[in-house]
Homo-oligomer: A and B are copies of this chain.
Amino acid sequence: MSDKTSSADRIREKKKLFLAREQKIIDAALELFLKESIDRVTVSKIAAVAGIGKGTVYKHFLTKNEILARIMLDYERNITKSLAAGIIKAGKGDPGAAAKGYFEARLARPELDRLVQQLEGRLADAADIAEQIDELHRTRRSNEESLSELMTGLIGEGVLEDVPPHFHYLACWALAQGAVELCFNQSWNYRTDTKELMEFITNIGVSMGNRGQYHSTSSKPPAGKNASKNKSKK
């Protein structure tokens, strides 16, 4: 019996090691992607950084593109999680929570977000990984229904403007997308107040499409915020 157990243990151990190495590849790829231009990252370099042989990479990924696809999917799933949490929160009376959660997730590691943006642009029509790209889209679209519902509710409550519900979250997506790009664009990023700028933009994202609301700069608006807003209107 101990034999059997140890054998099963060994197998489990091996699998764990295998997965660990997979993660090592991903990490190495990420490290390289974030350090240098995407198309200067080669499989050889990834393997070297991961500390393994080039051939080993292909035990984990069928093609180079699959590594990239994996990075994208991992990232998107993570975003989805944050968004889901935000949607739940929004359902509990904090209408901006969805957008806020979404923005914060995407701006948490903007360099990673941007990388994924760029990867998506390049891999849009890669024949291999067509399936993974599809999953990416499915992952995104799976959020749409709940977002639509949420937006519809907020429109009904008069919080949001009465436009097709997807206008709201797509505008939000767009702003997040651009905000990330803003962080790294050489034309602008000589500034040092990026953090505040991102908060400003997040707030725009949170309140964009709202009916007759004040915009606010503070990232954590006090409960009394709406009241004070209304007051300031007078």
Does A174 contact B164, Cβ atoms closer than 8 Å? no
User: For residue A194, which residue of chain B has the nearest CB?
Assistant: B170
Given A37-B124, A187-B141: A210 and B215 interface contact (C-beta under 8 Å): yes
Complex CA–CA separation, A163 to B177 (angstroms): 22
Q: Does A25 have its Cβ within 8 Å of any Cβ on chain B?
A: no
Q: Identify which of A126, A173, A176 gathers the most chain B CB atoms within 10 Å of its CB.
A: A173
Which of the 9-residue segments A4-12, A46-54, A91-99, A197-205 touches chain B?
A197-205
Q: Does A232 have its Cβ within 8 Å of any Cβ on chain B?
A: yes
Which residues on B sit within 8 Å (CB–CB) of A137? Answer: 186-187
Complex CA–CA separation, A175 to B204 (angstroms): 10
> What is the 8 Å Cβ interface bit string for chain A, positions 202-226, against chain B (1 contact, 0 not)?
0010001111111111000000000
Distance from A201 Cβ to chain B, minimum over Cβ atoms (Å): 5
Given A171-B204, A215-B209, A229-B212: A191 and B166 interface contact (C-beta under 8 Å): yes
Complex CA–CA separation, A124 to B37 (angstroms): 8
User: For residue A126, which residue of chain B has the nearest CB?
Assistant: B37
Distance from A202 Cβ to chain B, minimum over Cβ atoms (Å): 10
Which of the 9-residue segments A15-23, A81-89, A114-122 touches chain B?
A114-122
Distance from A59 Cβ to chain B, minimum over Cβ atoms (Å): 11
Does A163 contact B217, Cβ atoms closer than 8 Å? yes
Complex CA–CA separation, A118 to B122 (angstroms): 9
Q: Does A67 have its Cβ within 8 Å of any Cβ on chain B?
A: no
Does A173 contact B197, Cβ atoms closer than 8 Å? no
Q: Does A178 have its Cβ within 8 Å of any Cβ on chain B?
A: yes
Which residues on B sit within 8 Å (CB–CB) of A125? Answer: 36-37
Which residues on B sit within 8 Å (CB–CB) of A117? Answer: 181
8 shortest interchain CB distances as A-B pairs: A174-B178, A178-B178, A177-B178, A140-B187, A212-B214, A212-B232, A137-B187, A174-B182
Q: Which residues of A are interface residues toward B (Cβ below 8 A)? A: 36-39, 117-118, 120-122, 124-126, 133, 136-137, 140-141, 161, 163-164, 166-167, 170-171, 173-179, 181-182, 185-188, 191, 193, 196-197, 200-201, 204, 208-217, 228-229, 232-233
**Can you list 24 A-B contacts with CB-CB less than 8 angstroms, sorted by A residue number?**
A37-B124, A37-B126, A38-B122, A118-B121, A133-B186, A136-B187, A140-B188, A161-B216, A164-B196, A164-B197, A166-B191, A166-B197, A170-B188, A171-B175, A173-B178, A174-B182, A176-B178, A177-B177, A177-B182, A178-B181, A200-B209, A204-B208, A210-B215, A212-B232
